[in-house]
Structure 1
Amino acid sequence: MIQQLRKTALLLKILLLLMAIGSSNSCYAQNKTLSNLLEIAGKVTDSRTGEPIANASISLDFKKSGFISDTLGVFKLYLPNGEYVVKVSAIGYKPFRTRVVLTKNVQLNIELDEISKTLEEVIVSSQATRKDIQTPSLGVTLLNIKGIKKLPAMMGEIDIIRSIQTLPGVSSVGEGSNGVNIRGGNVDQNLIYIDDMPIFNPTHLFGLFSVFASDAIRELELYKGGIPARFGGRSAAVLDIKVTEPSTEKFKLSGGIGLVSNRAMAEIPIVKEKLSVLVAGRVSFNDFLFKWLAPDNMKGTKANFYDFASKVFYRPNKNNTITLSAYLSEDYYQVDSLFSLENVIASKTQFDYGHQNASIHWSHYFGPKLSMEIVGVTSLYKTRTYAPDSVNNIDLRNQVFYNNLKAQWDYLPDDKQKINFGISGIRYDIQPGSLNKDVKSRIAAVEIPREQGMEFGIFVDDEYKFNNKLTIQAGLRYAHYLALGAGTVNTYLTTEPKSLNTIVSTRTYSSGEVMKSYGGFEPRLTMKYSIDEKNTLKLGYNRMQQFFQLISNNTTPLPTARWKLADEFVKPQFSDFYTIGGFHSFKDDIWELSAEGYYRNAQHILDYVSGANLQLNKNLETQIISGKGKAYGLELMLTKRRGEVNGWLSYTYARSLQQMLGDFPSVQQISNGDWFPSNYDKPHNFNMLVNIQPSKHHSFSFTFAYQTGRPVSSPVGLFQIDNQRYPVYIARNNSRISDYHRLDFSWTITNPSLKEKRWEGSWTFTVYNIYARQNAYSVFFKPVAYGVRPYELSVFGAPFVSLTYNFKFL
C-alpha cells in the first residue's frame, strides 16, 4: 500500500511539473502553428569579446516570462503582432531594454556590457570606495567629474559647488549663497585649490554658479576630516581640484551650448608623448534674458561672467614632468536698484570681480622610492563696486595678492610605509579698501592701509601599515606667521572696549618690520582598523590654524567683503577636530554603508558688534569681537556604486554653535553670552541621488534635498521715535526660516552614431525645482499696528527648465 502511494505521489509530481511547463509556454507553443504569430529571433553576445552569452534571461513587458538563451546565446519568441518591451539580462552584465513594434518578423542582435566595464558615474568614484575601506583616510571623498556632469543642474550649468552639497556634512545658507559650509565651518574656513592655485570666491553671479570650467576638471578631492599635513592655512575643510592633463597622443575637442553659457575645451598635442596644451573656457551672455523676461524695473540688469583654464604639459624625459597652469575668472553685474555706501544712495550699481591665477609644477622621479615636486603659485583676486553718478561717483576697490612656493617629497622605504614631507612659504598682500582713489567725486577719497604677512610651514606625514588590520597615518605641521609693516598699531585703554575714544597711543612700523608673530604645531592623526575585508573602523584628529579670514556682517558674504590678516588684535583662528567612522561594503563592493561622527572646537572666531561699519573702517578692531564655536554631527550614507540604477541616500544631524563674550562681556557679549546657532546651523539634512541608465542612449537622474531652515534674528518688540516704529533685537539667530526642500530631474540623450567619425553629441534636459517649492532665502520684518510682521523672500520659487547640447570630438 505504501509503495503504491509513493508511485501515485511521484506520478502527480511529474504531472504537475508538465502542466507548469506547458502552461508557461502554451500560448506560444500551441499557437506556433497559427498563421497570425510573428517571430522575434535574437542572439545575445558580450559587447567586448563577441562571445555568446548562454542562459541570458528574456522577459516581456517587464514581466518574468521564463525564457532563456541557449548555449549559443540564441532565443526565439512567437507572438501576435503588437508592441512589446523586451528586456535581456544576465549575471554580471548590464541589462538591455528595447521596444519592438511587431508587424513582421524581427531579428535582434544584442550586446551586453559587463558591469565592471560600466562607468561608475555616481559622484563618488570607486577610488573613494577603496579609500573608505582600505586606507586610513577619514572624511575624504574623491569626486568623479563624469558623475557630476550627470547631476541635474540649475539652468543646465554643471556646477561643482552645488554638486558637493549633495554630500553629507556639506550645505549652504540658501539659494544663491556664496560658497559652502562644511561640518560647521564658515565659507572662508575652506581651502579651495585648483592645481594649487587658491580660489577666494568660488561662485559666479553672487552664488548662482560655481567658477570652475567643468570640462577642464579631471577630479576633485574633498577633505572634511583627516586632512593631510601638507594642507594648512584654513580651519575647516579642503577642496583640492585637479585640471585635466592634456593628451599627448591626439587632438580632442569638447564643449556645450546652453541657456546661460557656452563652453569649449581643446587638447592639442604639440610634440607626441612630450608636449601638449589644454585650453578651456566658458562665457555667458545673459543680458537678453533680463530684457525679455524680467519685470520693467529689472530690464536694465546685466549679468555676465567668464572663466578660462589652460594647462601646458611637458615631459622632457621619463624622470621629469613640468606643467604650467593658468586660471582666470571674471564677473560683471549691473543692477538698477538702490545701493548705499558712505551715506550716499546710488540708483545704478556695477560689480566687477574675479581671479587671475597661475602656477608651475616640476615633478622629478629619483627612483622607485623617492620623488619630488616643486610648486610656485601667484594669485590675484580683486573686486570693484562702481556707482556712476554725475557728482557722487562711487568707486570702491579691494584686492588680495597671494604668492606661494612649496617643495615636497614622497619617500617609500618599503611596501608598508609612505612618507610625505616638505616646506612652504606664502606671502599675503591685501588692499582692504580703496574708495575714489582716481575718481572725481564729491565723496571724499578713503584708502585703508595695506596689510602684509608671511606664513611659513614645514610638514611631514607618515603612513605605516602594521599588518592587514591596522594602519596609522600620523602627521605634524608647524606653521609660523609674521604680520609685516608698514603700518600703525593703536594702544587702547585696558578698562574699556576699543573705540576711537579709548585710543591711548599709536606706534608706527616701517616697511618689512615685524608687527606681530604667531605660530604653533598642528598634529594630525588617523587610524584604520579592519575587522575584516568588508568592515572598517577609523579614528581621526586634526588641529588647524588660520591666519587669514573674511569679515562680513552679511549672512552670505558678498564678493566685496573684506579679507583680514591676523595682527595685534585679530588672533589666528584654530580648531581641534575629532572624527570617528565605520564603513561596511557588501555585494561585491557595489553597496557601501558608512557612519561618521565628528566634534569640532574652534577658538578666536570673529563676529561683529551691532551697527558695525566693516568695509572702510581703518580701526576694524573696534567693530569686531572674538569668541569660540563648536560643531558636532552624525553622517549616515548608503551608496550603490554600480549597475543600471545607482546613487545614494544620506542623512546628517549637525549642529553649529557660537559663543561671543569679547574682552568685556558685560557690554560686548552677544545673546547674553549664551551659545547661539551660527548662520549655517541646520540640524537635519537629507539628500538623495538616483541615476538610471536603461540604455547607452538614455540616462536619467533625480536629486532630492531637505534641510532644516537656517537661523535668523527675530525682533522681540518695538520702540518708537517721532511716530516711527522700529524692531528691537536682543538675541542673535533666535528663530528660523521655513524648512528647505527641492526635487530636480535631468535626462541625457546620447547619440554615438557618429563615433566612427570621432564625434559624439548629447542633449541634457534639466528641470530644477520640479514642484516649484518657494524656498525662503531670507526674512525681513516690518512694523504693523499689532507688532512686527515677518516676510520671507524666495529667490527661485518656480521650476527652471533648461536644454544643453554637449559634444566631443576625439
Structure 2
Amino acid sequence: MKQKIPFLLFKYSILCSFLIIFSNQLLAQNTEFKLPQLSGRVTDSKTGEPVVGATIFIDYKKSGFITDTSGRFSIYLPKGEYVIKITNVGYNPFRSKVLLKDDTKFDVSLQDVSKTLEEVIVSSQATRRSIQTPSLGVTLLSIKGIKKLPAMMGEVDIIRSLQTLPGVSSVGEGSNGINVRGGNTDQNLIYIDDAPIFNPTHLFGLFSVFASDAIRELELYKGSVPSRFGGRTASVLDIKMTDPSLEKFKLSGGVGFVSNRVMAEIPIIKDKLSIVAAGRVSFNDFWFKLIGPDNMKNTRANFYDVATKVFYRPNKNNTFSLSTYISRDFYQVDSLFSLENVVAKQTQFTYGHVNISGRWSHYFNPKMSLEVVGVLSNYKTKTFAPDSVNRIELYNHINYKNVKANFDYNPNDRHKLNFGVSGINYQISPGRLNEDVQSRIATVLLPNEQSLELGVYVDDEYKASDKLTIQAGLRYAQFLNLGPTTARKYLEGVPRSTSSQISEETISSGSIEKAYGGFEPRIAVKYSLGENSTMKLGYNRMQQFIQILSNNTTPLPTARWKTADEYIKPQVSDFVSLGIFKNYKDNIWEVSAEGYYRKTQNVLDYISGANLQLNKTIETQVIAGQGKAYGLELMLTKKKGEVSGWLSYTYARSLQQVRGDFPELQQISDGNWYASNYDKPHSLNLMLNIQPTIHHSFSFTFAYNTGRPFSSPSGFFQLNNQKYPVYETRNNDRVPDYHRLDFSWTITNPSLKEKRWEGSWTFTVYNLYGRANAYSVFFKPYRGGLRPYQLSVFANPLVSLTYNFKFL
C-alpha cells in the first residue's frame, strides 16, 4: 500500500496539470463553450426609476431571475431564440422574443397600470363621476372600448354594445332599439349632435345606424337625467360626433363582410377651420344570391349613412359647428307585408334620417358660457309593393325643428348652475296610402299632426360640505297639440269605438286642440363614505308627449308615431334610485350597486285585433294603463391592465296593468299586473379584454338573460274546419333562456410599426358555440291541437374578418 500512494499522487498531479493547460487553451481560443449573457435594466416607463424585484420568465417558465436594487438583471443562456416575460406588481407584463447569439443588452420599460388608458367601454371620466358627482345611472362610454368588443359580422355596433351594460337590454336579436330599466324602445331620447334619432337601427334591427368612426363619445343617462333633457321617460343617449383635427389631415376606415367605411379629417385653415366626413355603405345582395335558400334569392338588403361636421374657431371665445347626419335603408323581400287584407307578393321598405344641427358656443369669462343650437330633422319611411293591380305606396314622416339656448354659470367653487330654454315643433304625417296611385287598394290619407313642446329648466349642483353634494333641478314642460285637425266626440259611459262616435269638429290651423304641461322636479344627493366610496340617492319626474303605437314585440321602422291629444295622454314617470360606489387601487377597480323603482302613468296597450297602421280613429284601438319597473344592478369593473373588463348582474322586473276607462269591458288579463314584452328578471354580462402585447388583443363577451314573455294560448276553437287559438291572459309564458359567447382577435400593425399608416385585422366569431336562441314562439294547428314553433335569428356561429386602417 505504501508503494501505491506516491504513484496515485503522481497520476493526480499529471491529470490536474493537463486540465489546467487544456482550460487555458480553451479560454485563449474563445471557443463556443462560453454562454452568451443577456443583461439589462427594467425601469418605469413614465418616471425612469428602476423597478426593483421584477421577475424574469424564460419561455414562460419561472427561472428565479429578479432585478436588483438598481433594476438590473443578468442571465447566461445557450444560444437560441427565447420568449422573455417580465412582470411586477402594479405594472403591465412585458413580453418579447429575443434571438441570443452573443452578449445582448436588453433594457425594458414597464407601464404602470394606473397610468394606462382604459380598454373597456366605461371611461375614466365615468369612474370619477361615479365617485365625485351626485348623478346616478350616468355612464360615459368610450368609443375605443366599444371597438374592442366582438362585433357581429365585423360591424362595430353602439346599440349592441350598450346591451352589455347592466339595466340595458332588448327583446331579442334583430330587434329595434334598446330597453332601459324596464322602458319601451320609444321611451329613450337619442341625440347625435343634438339631432334626434327616431329609429337607431339598420336592416330592421340587425345593426346600429351610427358610424362609429365619426363618434367621439356617448353619454347614457338611465337614472339622474339633467333637467336640460325632456320628452322621454326612460333614458337619454347623448352622442357627440368627433371634432375634426385643426392641424393635420387624417384618414381612417375599414373593409368588412357587411359594409365598407371611410372617414377623413381635413384642415382648411390651420387652427381655425376644418371638416370631418365619414361614410359607411353596405352591399349585401350577393350574400342572398350566393348562399341564401331559394325563397330568399330575391331578397335585397342595403344601407348607408353619412356624417359630416364643419368646425370653425375664429377666436378663443367663440366656436361654430355645423353637423349633418344622413341614413338610408332599403330592404326587399317576397311576401312579407299585409295591408287592407291584401298580401303583397313582393315588398320594399325604404326609411332613413336627414339631420342638420348648428351650434354656437360663446365663452364670456371663466364663470359664464353660452350655447345656442338649432336643429332640423326629417325621418321618412316608404312601404312599396310593385304589384300591377294591388299596388301599394305608403308614406310616413316626422319633421322635427328645435331651437334652444343653454347657459353654464359657475359663481364659485360650490355652485354649478345650468339653465336654459328650448322649443320643439313636431309635424307628423302618420300615413298616406296610394296618393295619386292607380290601384285596386283605395287611397287613405290620415291628417297631419302638429304640435309644440316648450321647456324651461334650471340645474344647480351645490357642494354643501366636503362629504355632502346636492344636485337639484326643475323643468317645466308645456305641450300644445295644434290644428288643423279633427276632434271627435264619443258617447259617454261606453268604450270609444266607431259605433260610439257621435260627432266631429274641425280645429283650424294654429288653434290649440289640447294642452298639457307640468313641472318635472329632479334631485340627486351624494354623501361621501370615504375617499373612494360614496352613497347616492336620486329622484326625477319626466313627461313624454310623443310615442310609438305598435302591436309588434319590437316596433318596425314603419311603425306609427303619435303625439298626445284629447284621448291619448302624455306618459308621466316618477323614478327613484339608490346607489353605492367604491373604487380600489387608483381607480383600477370599481364596485357598484344600484337599486331603482319607476312608476309610469298613461302607458298604452292595444285591444285584441287592433288596427294601428291606417286608422283615423286611433284612440279606439288603444287602452291606457300604468307600468312599474324595479331592479338591482351589481357591477364589478377592472378598467386597466393586461386583462380588463367587467362582470355585472341585474335583477329587473317590468310590469303593466291596463284597465282602461271601463274596466269591466276593456281590462287586459282581468285587470291584473302582467309582464311587459321586455321583462327579463335575470341578466348576467361578462366582458373580458386581454392585451398581452401592443400588437395583439383578445376580447370575449358572454351574455345570459331570462327569456322574454309571450302570450301562450289556453285553447282553441274551430270554425269552418279552421282552428284558431284562444288567449285568456297576455304574456303568460316565456321563451327559453338566452345565452351567447362572442370572441374577437385584433392584430395591429404586424409589420408597419413606425409608419404613419396604422392597419389592423379583426377576426370575430359571434355566437361562438352556436346557441339557437329563440326570438319568438308561435303556434300552428297540429293533429287536432296546437303545436309551438320556435324562431331563431342567429342559430349558428357568425365568422367575420375586417381590415381597419388609419393614416395619421
Q: TM-score, normalised by structure 2?
A: 0.94
- In structure 2, what is the Cα distance between the partners aligned to 1:445 and 1:563? 20
- In structure 2, what is the Cα distance between the partners aligned to 1:334 and 1:380? 23
Counterpart contact for 1:302–1:332, Cα < 8 Å = yes
- Of residues 776-785 and 352-361 in structure 1, the stretch that sits farther from structure 2 once superposed is 776-785
Q: Secondary structure at the match of 1:663?
A: coil
Shift of 1:47: 4.3
Paired residue for 1:685? 683
1:773 to 761, 771, 789: 771
- Of residues 64-73 and 342-351 in structure 1, the stretch that sits farther from structure 2 once superposed is 64-73
Paired residue for 2:758? 760
- In structure 2, what is the Cα distance between the partners aligned to 1:271 and 1:225? 42
Q: Secondary structure at the match of 1:278?
A: strand
Counterpart contact for 2:374–2:402, Cα < 8 Å = yes
Counterpart contact for 2:335–2:343, Cα < 8 Å = no
Paired residue for 2:3? none
Amino acid corresponding to residue 467 of structure 1 in structure 2: S
Paired residue for 2:503? 505
Paired residue for 1:809? 807
What aligned pairs does 1:21-40 form with structure 2 within 5 A after superposition? 35=33, 39-40=37-38
- In structure 1, what is the Cα distance between the partners aligned to 2:789 and 2:638? 41
Counterpart contact for 1:753–1:760, Cα < 8 Å = no
- In structure 2, what is the Cα distance between the partners aligned to 1:529 and 1:673? 42
Q: Secondary structure at the match of 1:289?
A: helix
Counterpart contact for 2:114–2:586, Cα < 8 Å = no
2:518 to 517, 520, 530: 520
Counterpart contact for 1:403–1:428, Cα < 8 Å = yes
Paired residue for 2:27? none
Q: Give deviations 1:607-646, integer Å, cap 9, x for gaps.
A: 1100000000000011010000000000000001111111
Paired residue for 1:631? 629
Q: Give deviations 1:217-250, integer Å, cap 9, x for gaps.
A: 0000000000000000001100000000111011
Q: Which has the larger radius of gyration?
A: 2
Paired residue for 1:10? none
1:215 to 213, 216, 219: 213
Paired residue for 2:153? 155
Counterpart contact for 2:39–2:105, Cα < 8 Å = yes
- In structure 2, what is the Cα distance between the partners aligned to 1:692 and 1:543? 41
What aligned pairs does 1:157-556 form with structure 2 within 5 A after superposition? 157-556=155-554
- In structure 2, what is the Cα distance between the partners aligned to 1:425 and 1:806? 41
Q: Give deviations 1:158-199, integer Å, cap 9, x for gaps.
A: 000000100000000000000000000000000000010000
- In structure 2, what is the Cα distance between the partners aligned to 1:637 and 1:131? 16
- Of residues 456-465 and 748-757 in structure 1, the stretch that sits farther from structure 2 once superposed is 748-757
Shift of 1:498: 0.8
1:130 to 116, 128, 131: 128
Shift of 1:291: 1.1
Consecutive unaligned residues of structure 1, counting only runs of 5 or more, are 1-32
Q: Secondary structure at the match of 1:776?
A: coil
Q: Give deviations 1:549-604, integer Å, cap 9, x for gaps.
A: 00000000000000000000000001000000001111222111100000000000
- In structure 2, what is the Cα distance between the partners aligned to 1:765 and 1:193? 31
Amino acid corresponding to residue 314 of structure 1 in structure 2: Y
Shift of 1:401: 0.5
Q: Secondary structure at the match of 2:204?
A: helix
Shift of 1:89: 2.0
Q: Give deviations 1:116-149, integer Å, cap 9, x for gaps.
A: 4422121000100100011101100000000000
Amino acid corresponding to residue 540 of structure 2 in structure 1: N
Q: Give deviations 1:430-476, integer Å, cap 9, x for gaps.
A: 00001011322121111110010000000000000011100000000
- In structure 2, what is the Cα distance between the partners aligned to 1:145 and 1:616? 40
Residue 748 (structure 2) pairs with residue 740 (structure 1): no
Amino acid corresponding to residue 662 of structure 2 in structure 1: F
Q: Secondary structure at the match of 1:366?
A: strand
- In structure 2, what is the Cα distance between the partners aligned to 1:51 and 1:598? 48
Q: Give deviations 1:660-687, integer Å, cap 9, x for gaps.
A: 1011111111111100000000000000
Counterpart contact for 2:444–2:614, Cα < 8 Å = yes
- In structure 2, what is the Cα distance between the partners aligned to 1:526 and 1:338? 48
Counterpart contact for 1:752–1:759, Cα < 8 Å = no
The alignment of Structure 1 onto Structure 2 pairs a total of residues equal to 779
- Of residues 337-346 and 68-77 in structure 1, the stretch that sits farther from structure 2 once superposed is 68-77
Q: Give deviations 1:250-299, integer Å, cap 9, x for gaps.
A: 11111111110011111111111111101011111111111111111101
Shift of 1:337: 2.8
Counterpart contact for 1:493–1:504, Cα < 8 Å = yes
- In structure 2, what is the Cα distance between the partners aligned to 1:294 and 1:77? 60
1:666 to 664, 667, 678: 664
- In structure 1, what is the Cα distance between the partners aligned to 2:345 and 2:43? 69
- In structure 2, what is the Cα distance between the partners aligned to 1:468 and 1:807? 47
Amino acid corresponding to residue 189 of structure 1 in structure 2: Q
Q: Secondary structure at the match of 2:661?
A: coil
- In structure 1, what is the Cα distance between the partners aligned to 2:63 and 2:217? 43
- In structure 1, what is the Cα distance between the partners aligned to 2:63 and 2:608? 72
Paired residue for 1:585? 583
- In structure 1, what is the Cα distance between the partners aligned to 2:335 and 2:33? 77
Q: Secondary structure at the match of 1:131?
A: helix
Counterpart contact for 2:347–2:383, Cα < 8 Å = yes
- In structure 1, what is the Cα distance between the partners aligned to 2:101 and 2:45? 28
Indicate how the Cα distance of structure 1 residues 51 and 65 shifts in structure 2: closer, same or farther if over 3 A, else same. Answer: same
Amino acid corresponding to residue 502 of structure 1 in structure 2: S
Shift of 1:352: 0.2
Paired residue for 1:605? 603
Counterpart contact for 1:36–1:81, Cα < 8 Å = no
Counterpart contact for 1:383–1:398, Cα < 8 Å = yes
- In structure 1, what is the Cα distance between the partners aligned to 2:783 and 2:60? 63
- In structure 2, what is the Cα distance between the partners aligned to 1:104 and 1:746? 39
Shift of 1:114: 3.1
Amino acid corresponding to residue 685 of structure 1 in structure 2: S
Q: Secondary structure at the match of 1:128?
A: helix
- Of residues 633-642 and 776-785 in structure 1, the stretch that sits farther from structure 2 once superposed is 776-785
- In structure 1, what is the Cα distance between the partners aligned to 2:752 and 2:435? 58
Amino acid corresponding to residue 253 of structure 1 in structure 2: L
- In structure 2, what is the Cα distance between the partners aligned to 1:638 and 1:397? 47
Shift of 1:786: 4.9
Q: Secondary structure at the match of 1:614?
A: coil
- In structure 1, what is the Cα distance between the partners aligned to 2:614 and 2:538? 42
Counterpart contact for 2:405–2:420, Cα < 8 Å = yes
Shift of 1:68: 1.8
Indicate how the Cα distance of structure 1 residues 774 and 36 shifts in structure 2: closer, same or farther if over 3 A, else same. Answer: farther
Residue 58 (structure 2) pairs with residue 60 (structure 1): yes
Cα RMSD after superposing both structures: 1.7
1:782 to 780, 783, 802: 780
- In structure 1, what is the Cα distance between the partners aligned to 2:176 and 2:713? 26
Shift of 1:92: 4.0
Paired residue for 1:695? 693
Amino acid corresponding to residue 508 of structure 2 in structure 1: S
Amino acid corresponding to residue 482 of structure 2 in structure 1: L
- In structure 1, what is the Cα distance between the partners aligned to 2:595 and 2:50? 49
Q: Give deviations 1:750-792, integer Å, cap 9, x for gaps.
A: 1175454311111111110000000000111012225321111
- In structure 2, what is the Cα distance between the partners aligned to 1:516 and 1:652? 40
Q: Secondary structure at the match of 2:665?
A: helix
Paired residue for 1:656? 654
2:723 to 725, 728, 732: 725
Q: Secondary structure at the match of 2:712?
A: coil
